[in-house]
Structure formats: C-alpha cells, structure tokens
Structure 1
Amino acid sequence: MKISKLTKDKLLEIKWFSSIGEKVDFTDMILANSLNETGEFLAAPEWENVTLEESNEMSAYLADKFTDAYQHWNDVAKEAKLFFENDLKGKIPHLNDIDNTLLVQCVEWDVTHYLIEDFYKEKLKKPLFFYKLLSIYECGHIPCGWLGEWPNGKLVVY
C-alpha cells in the first residue's frame, strides 16, 4: 500500500455535502446560488481546465525534479481510484437538481488527485491545490468552479 491509512480514514470520515448552500466562511471564495448552478459550473470547460492544469503541473514538476519518485505515479493513481470505487463512492450522497454522475466523477477526480498530492506532498511546491479542494469537502461544501482568469480569480463553492 502506498497511500496512507490515515489519509484514507480522513476521507471516509467526511460528511459529504452536509453544508451545501450554506454561507461559506472563506473570503477567497464565491458561493454558487443553487445545485443547478453548481452543476453548470462543474460541467463548464473552465473548471475542468483549472483542475486539469493543476494535475498536469503536479505531474510535470515531479517528472522533472523527482524522476525516480515520479515512476510510482500510475501505481498511486490506480490505488487511489480503487479506494474511491470500493470504499468511498458509496458514501457520496445522491442529490436532487444536479447531474449526480457528473458530481461523482468530479469528486473522484478531486479525491484521486488529493491522494496523489498527499503521497508526494514532501516533494511538491506549496500550496497544494487538491488539499484546498479537500478542505472544502471537509466543510460539507462542493468546490465547483472558478471565476476569473486562472490563477487569478476566486473559487466557486456550494
């Protein structure tokens, strides 16, 4: 096992979506107005591009600076995806007024990359993007979009 049990346990303890729609206490974030709007943000190419860019940046940095350690990327990603599918996916509640397939896919992407970040955290530049997304999930919200030109702008949550 490459992913720490402590990290997996942390994910299993999250009360997924328990505070959606409630005011957020983060000054650098914007609250989406509804689950329907949250779904629109999740489906937007801008949000996909932001999360993909962060994943690519992490991968490229590790490949360039820590070539030997980077060789484990695919194994860690595979373990993370299996953990999500076998242990975590069933804990993600079904919500009305949103495409739940899309929502679960987005959570899986974020969690998988969080687990990869956690595995490589000692080697990566800070701040860690997917760690931030996970902190939003831990607060019961859904990180769902970005307003502004990346990396300037604000994260959208619901």
Structure 2
Amino acid sequence: MKIYDNVIKSLISLPFLKENRETTVPVKQIKKLQEAEKSINSLKWENFVLEKDGDFSVYLFKNQSDIYKHWNSLANSAKEEIIPEIEARLDNLFGEGKLLASMKDQILFDIIGLAIYLTIKKEVPQAESTFYDDLYALYQAGYIPCGYAGGQYKVF
C-alpha cells in the first residue's frame, strides 16, 4: 500500500508560514521564533503528539487490522515520496531565518503521520482522528503546530 497521489500533492504543497492565516481550530499564536522552537521541541508536545498517534494506531489495530498491517509501508512511502520535497522547502525557510533547523524533525514526523492518516481515512472513512484533522487544518492554514494547552493549539 502506498500514499495516494492526491495526499502527496496536498502535503507537498502545504503553505508553510503563509501571510494570511485563518482557521476554525482554536489556536494561540506564538510570535517569537525562539518560543516556538522551545514549544515544538518540548517533551510535553512530543508526548502529546505520540499519544494521539498511538491512539490512532491502536484504533486501527483493534478495528481495522487489515489496514493497520500497512502502517510501516505507508510510512516508508511517505518518507520516499513526500519528505524530500518537504525537507527542501523547510531548508529554504531555515536559510531565510523563518524557522530553526531544530524544528525540522517534529515537522517531518507530523507530515509522515498526516500522510498515513489521510491515506487510511480514504480507505476507511470511519477511521477518524480529531487530532490529525486539526493538525492538517493548521498546516493547510500556514501554521506550524508546536504545542497544546488549555484546549488550544500553540502555533507559529
């Protein structure tokens, strides 16, 4: 099983840090790059993302085992077909001083998770994750999600 072409196109064209950003997802905007870096690399955010990722994979394991068995092949497909393009775009943002290189790993982890989720959701529409829906909406709006507190995503 591979990542769908429309998912690939959607993710490689995410408008990172676009000028006019709007979303219906509750957010708290972080204005300073250093604060965003600290938040995105915090153990609290990392654990939150891993927990939500785990919730989705456990759901699949218990309810959609025929799809769950494709998890690793989907991750590999995302790494081959999406990540090189995303890395090049992020490297440009690092070079321009708009993001810091230490933020890269978490962003790439998010993108791989989104690629898997969006592909599986097309196969199994009832396999839903509010977290991944929110994450996708935030990236589509041009934000970099980097934390969660008080019912709001911290975004840069």
Q: Select 1:135's aligned residue among 129, 134, 137.
A: 137
Greater helix content: 2
- Alignment partner, residue 78 of structure 2: 80
> Any stretches of 5+ residues in structure 1 without a counterpart?
none
Q: TM-score, normalised by structure 1?
A: 0.83
Q: TM-score, normalised by structure 2?
A: 0.84
Q: Cα gap change, 1:39/1:24 in structure 2, threshold over 3 Å: closer, same or farther?
A: farther
- Alignment partner, residue 147 of structure 1: 149
Whole-angstrom distance in 2 between the partners of 1:47 and 1:72 = 26
- Alignment partner, residue 41 of structure 1: 39
Runs of 4+ in 1 over 6 A off after TM superposition: none
Opposite residue 132 of structure 2, the aligned amino acid is F
- Alignment partner, residue 18 of structure 1: 18
- Alignment partner, residue 100 of structure 2: 99
Whole-angstrom distance in 2 between the partners of 1:113 and 1:44 = 18
- Alignment partner, residue 67 of structure 2: 69
> CA deviation digits over 1:17-74, x for unaligned, max 9?
223xx77554621111311110111111110011000111111111111112211111
Whole-angstrom distance in 2 between the partners of 1:156 and 1:61 = 26
Q: Select 1:126's aligned residue among 125, 128, 131.
A: 128
RCO greater where, 1 or 2, for CA within 8 Å and sep 6 or more?
Answer: 2
Residue-pair matches, total = 151
> Any stretches of 5+ residues in structure 2 without a counterpart?
none
Q: Secondary structure at 1:3's aligned position in 2?
A: coil
Q: Cα gap change, 1:23/1:68 in structure 2, threshold over 3 Å: closer, same or farther?
A: closer
Q: Percent identity, please.
A: 24
- Alignment partner, residue 110 of structure 2: 110
Q: Cα gap change, 1:123/1:39 in structure 2, threshold over 3 Å: closer, same or farther?
A: same
Q: Secondary structure at 1:105's aligned position in 2?
A: helix
RMSD between aligned alpha carbons? 2.1
Q: Cα gap change, 1:104/1:84 in structure 2, threshold over 3 Å: closer, same or farther?
A: farther
